[in-house]
Amino acid sequence: MPFDPIGSIHREIVDCRLCPRLRTYCERVAVERKRAYREEHYWGQPVPSFGDPNARLLIVGLAPAAHGANRTGRLFTGDASAAFLFKALERGGFSNLPASAHRQDGLKLIDAYLSSVVHCAPPGNKPRPGEIVNCRTYLIREIEALRQVRAVLTLGRIATAGFLNALRVSGRFDGKLSEVSFRHGASFALSPDLPRLFCSYHPSRQNTQTGRLTLRMLQRVLLDIRRFLDLQAPR
């Protein structure tokens, strides 16, 4: 059987114990549970990435949500952020379903792969710098393994910085991080050998319920990505 680099990375993520604070928090949340999910079994472990290993679009988020991915075991699954994101992805042709409810819901990403800068749910949705560094090796290896990626969508400032730092640490980006200033809807040609970077606000409730990020705004970014990919060489 041929070696599966993506599968190997996923297994290592699930087995990871590099961040005791995050592991303790995820396991405690899985035991205490939210009242609405009291009867459910929580995943309570590091959450692996998922999607098409031949994808041309890499999407990078922040971290699993305590009662979303930490409960369901799949990134952007089972919470309000997931509902918002996948409605936009389905309309953009990057998902077969407009919702992400649980791991057995039949959802598949189309020409897209979803990762994050941290794979354990952090308290208050705020990972510490050292925890981001600990998880960085997985993102670096995914970037190397996803050989067809032509565009990267980062969701939020931390995801944008995490992706750029992964490129810098791996020696693939020697530009100044300050030259890539995060703002919603921005895109950057980092170098001829790297995917084009597209930025969006994170689809958190803090952004979507306040109107800082609307579905139309996210769809416009995805449309820009679709147009860019359509101009690239065929798969």
Give the number of other CB atoms < 10 A from CB of residue 151.
22
Average pLDDT over residues 225-231: 96
The whole-number pLDDT of residue 177 equals 67
Q: Which of 161, 146, 65, 57 is nearest to 109 (CA)?
A: 57
CATH class of 5-230: alpha beta
How high is the mean pLDDT of the chain? 95
The whole-number pLDDT of residue 181 equals 86
Statement: residue 12 has pLDDT above 60: yes
Q: Which of 169, 163, 152, 55 is nearest to 111 (CA)?
A: 55
pLDDT > 90 fraction of the chain, expressed in percent and rounded: 91
Please tell me the least confidently modeled range out of 18-22, 168-172, 196-200.
168-172
Q: Kindly report the pTM of this predicted structure.
A: 0.96
pLDDT > 70 fraction of the chain, expressed in percent and rounded: 96
Euclidean distance between CA atoms 93 and 88, whole angstroms: 9
Average pLDDT over residues 131-140: 98
Statement: residue 212 has pLDDT above 70: yes
Statement: residue 156 has pLDDT above 90: yes
Please state the three-class secondary structure of the chain as a single string: CCCCHHHHHHHHHHHCCCCHHHHHHHHHHHHHCCHHHCCCCCCCCCCCCEECCCCCEEEEECCCCCCCHHHHCCCCCCCHHHHHHHHHHHHCCCECCCCCCCCCCCCCECCEEEEECCCCCCHHHCCCHHHHHHHHHHHHHHHHHCCCCCEEEEECHHHHHHHHHHHHHCCCCCCCHHHCCCCCCCEEECCCCCCEEEEECCCCHHHHCCCCCCHHHHHHHHHHHHHHHHCCCCC
**pLDDT tens-digit readout, 63-103:** 999 999 999 999 999 999 999 999 999 999 999 999 999 99
**pLDDT tens-digit readout, 23-43:** 999 999 999 999 999 999 999
The whole-number pLDDT of residue 180 equals 85
Confidence bin at 174 (pLDDT 50/70/90): confident
Statement: residue 184 has pLDDT above 90: yes
